[in-house]
Structures are given as structure tokens and as C-alpha cells.
A = this chain, B = another copy of it.
Amino acid sequence: MVEACICTIGDEILIGQIVDTNSAFISRELNKLGIKVSSIVSIGDNFKEIVNTLEILTEKYPVVITTGGLGPTKDDITKNALLKLTGTDEMCIDNEQLGVIIDICSRRGIELSDLNRDQAMVPKSCTVLVNRKGTAPGMFFKTFSKNSLLFLLPGVPYEMESLMPNVSELIVSNLKTEQIIHKTIVTFGVAESLLATLLNEWESSLPPQIKLAYLPNPAIGIRLRLSVYGGDKRESVDLINRYSNELYGILGDIIYGESDDTLERVIFKMLINEGKSLSVAESCTGGKISSILTSISGSSGIFKGGAVVYSNESKIAILGLNSEIIEKYGAVSKECAEEMAIGAKRVFNTDYAISATGVAGPNGGTPEKPVGTIWIAVAGDGFVVSKKTIFAGDRERNTIRFSSEALNFLRLTLKTYISIIH
């Protein structure tokens, strides 16, 4: 199996001012080609270290991909390191990239500076991967070392991402790769250790060529990833399908999807199939539930709107809540959550509405309603259902889990009511 190494360059990563999201993206893309990322290394904007590291990595790995270190400002020195490594003393202007740079500057109303122009300078021995989203070109060195294909990509995520199709194409045309078959099953609502206990017996029955991994994520739930490396492709697919089918039998409704499915995507599929619309009323989640739902392109066909009713007055003014309900039961209560859902359904004129009201923390908790308490309700035609959960986390984590919990409750409710209708 072909192994690869990703090397991110930039002091900003080492001092912790930037989180490296590029490596995860590149890993997923390489995985699709049957290339295994064996290591990810982050180094600083240091000439010697870049030279040394690239020398070592290109000796060891058949594919090396760097990101970062190509920006217009003075802290970027990767190109000079490359120049030293390749032994090519000459740089040349790439006219296609220069065209993009001129275009970007003119669209932004910026005068073309020398710094901008220099971005189009590349070592002569490389193949340029023209960056149409930004000013720094990607570079491919086929003959950098006899052992390795070397790619240099810009550090800005969406620029790097736009170049990955070229990278994949160049790898496939230059290397013989072996396959990996993954299948990922996505679950929500059961903790990792309980899931492990539920699956203990089944896991022991897995043949040795199948590997199972638990991938917990507070927003998505726990993904169960089955992997088979190498072997006959058809047999591997059959094997992985057989065992994933068994998972459905064991876990039932805990499973909500596969691969890149998220709660919001699954909900949208259900609503689109039924031709139904949705609205949101949220308090403690502060817009997060609406924000998650609208992250899906095309969501305007389903999602009509949301009310972020942070204050009690806004719950009354926007959603028409009865002030007596808030006085009698408090804003974090079954009654308030249900009235919020009913109110949102009415004012946004939708088929379904979901509401969430709770205590995200760090302040506002009481012995009866501690930090982490969330009431969720779903209203539909002629019904409203609600649920309380208590989480233990900080404000940020609680907001994420509250939102996911609300979406999961909506998923399960929709499933039940849609099955009753049909």
C-alpha cells in the first residue's frame, strides 16, 4: 500500500494560532485513491528545517504533500528552500498564475504590488498547479527525488482544496495505488463505552482483515468505521457490507446514516421527500440550530426561518408566548419549549417546528435546572412532543450538544410521525 506524508509549514500552526484543517481534507482525498497517510508533520517557517524535513520525507514516502509557506508576506520562505533542494538556480514567472493574480487584484480594487507579482515566480523544474482562488500557485515536482512525488500547496484551505483534484490526477497517473475499502456508519445518542459494550460480541466475531474504529464527535455522534485494506475489491466490498448490515440489526434507530451523513442532511432528505417545511425557535443555542440547518445548500426550500429568542420579552413578542407560562414554569421548562415550538410553527407558517431552551452555562444554573439542562420540543400538525436532557460540558460544548440533541430528537420524531402518516 502506497504511503504518504503531509507536511504543514508555518509558525502559526506551531504557536497554536491556526488549527490545521488542511491535513484532514488531504487525508480523506488520498484515502479515496487507496493511499494511506502514515504521518502528518508540522514545522515552522524556518529555512533549514524546511530543507531538512523535505529531504528526509521525500526519501521515506512515495508521496509528500506540503501546505503553507507560500504567502505573499515576508514570513514565507518555502520557495527558497525548494530552490536550494532542487539545485535549480532559476526561477521563472508562470504567466497563467500571473494572469490570475492580476485579475484578483483588479476585482478587489487593489493595485498590483511587487509582492503580488512575486507570487507567480516558481522554480523552473516544477509543474505549476494554477491556483484560481488565490495568488499562490501550487507546485508539483516529479523528479525532486527518485523515491517521491512532491506537491507544494497553498495554506489557505479553500485554495488548497481547489487544487486537490489536480493532485489526485497527477498521483494516479504517476503511481500504482492499492485500494482501501471503508464503510462508515453514523450513530447518535449512545456513549462510546456503552456502544462498545453493545458491540462487544459482534466485534469479536469480525474476521481479522476487518478493522473497526470508533470516531466520536459531539456534533455528529459516534461514527463506526469498518476498513479492509488490500485484497480483492469485490470480496472486500461484500464482506464490509455483510458486517455493516449486521450493525443495523444490533443498533436499530441509533444508526442514522452512513459516510458523510449528518443529522441535518438526514432531516432534510426526510422533509424533501415529504414536501414539508421547518422552522426553529431557539434560546440557549443562540442561532446554532438555524445555522446548522442553513449550512446545507438549497435549504431555503425547506427551512423558512428561525427565531433566536434570547430574552423572555422576545419569546413573548416574536413567538406570542403567554407570559404566565414563563412566570409559572420558567424559560427552561417543558411548557416553555412546547409553546416555543408551537409559536414558531405558527409565525413561520411551517409544517414542523423545533425548539430548544436550556442553560448553556457557565452561569444561570440552579439545583433544579443545572448548567447543561436542555428542553427540546417538536411541533407538527396536531401534536407537540418534548424531551429533557442534561449534559455536562462547558458553554461551547453544551451549545453544540444541545443543537445536535435537538436535531436528533427532530429526526426520531419525524421518523415516527411520517411512518404513522403512511
Chain B residue contacts of A38, Cβ below 8 A: 14, 43-44, 49
Known: A12-B215, A41-B40, A191-B110. A294 touches B305 (CB 8 A): no
CB-CB under 8 A from A295, the residues of chain B are 286, 395-396, 399
Q: By the criterion of a CB under 8 Å from any partner CB, how many residues of chain A are at the interface?
A: 106
One of B108, B115, B310, B347 near A294 (C-beta < 8 A): B310
Would A31 and B16 be within 8 Å (CB), given that A74-B203, A362-B297 are in contact?
A: yes
A190: nearest chain-B partner, CB-CB? B110
How many copies of this chain?
2
Given known contacts A73-B196, A191-B108, A307-B308, A313 and B349 CB-to-CB distance under 8 angstroms: yes
Contact B318 A318 (CB under 8 A): yes
Instruction: Give the one of A15, A23, A214 with max B CB within 10 A.
Output: A15
Would you give the 0/1 interface string for A175-206, flagging 1 where the beta carbon is closer than 8 Å to chain B? 00000001010000001111011000001000
CB nearest to A393 among chain B residues: B158
- Provide the residues of chain B in CB contact with A105, threshold 8 Å: 193
A290, closest chain B residue (CB): B287
For residue A225, CB closer than 8 A to chain B, the reply is yes
- A392 interfacial by beta-carbon distance below 8 Å: yes
**What mask results when residues 10 to 22 of chain A are scored 1 for a CB within 8 Å of chain B, else 0?**
0111111111110
Cα distance A394–B310 when bound, in Å? 30
A406 to chain B, nearest CB (A): 13
The answer to whether A16 and B23 touch across the interface, beta carbons within 8 angstroms, is yes
Out of B15, B23, B286, name the residue touching A42 (CB < 8 Å): B23
Q: Which residues of B contact A251 (CB under 8 A)?
A: none
- Is A135 a contact partner of B28 (Cβ separation < 8 A)? no
Nearest B residue (CB) for A28: B16
B residues in contact with A116, CB < 8 Å: 193
Residue of B nearest to A284 (CB): B294
B75 and A212 form a contact (CB under 8 A): yes
Given contacts A14-B37, A16-B23, A16-B37, 15 further A-B contacts (CB under 8 A): A12-B213, A15-B225, A17-B24, A20-B20, A20-B40, A71-B214, A74-B212, A110-B191, A110-B193, A279-B314, A295-B395, A305-B310, A305-B318, A306-B308, A307-B318
Considering the complex of A and B, which 4 residue pairs feature the smallest CB-CB distances, nearest first? A286-B294, A287-B290, A16-B27, A305-B314
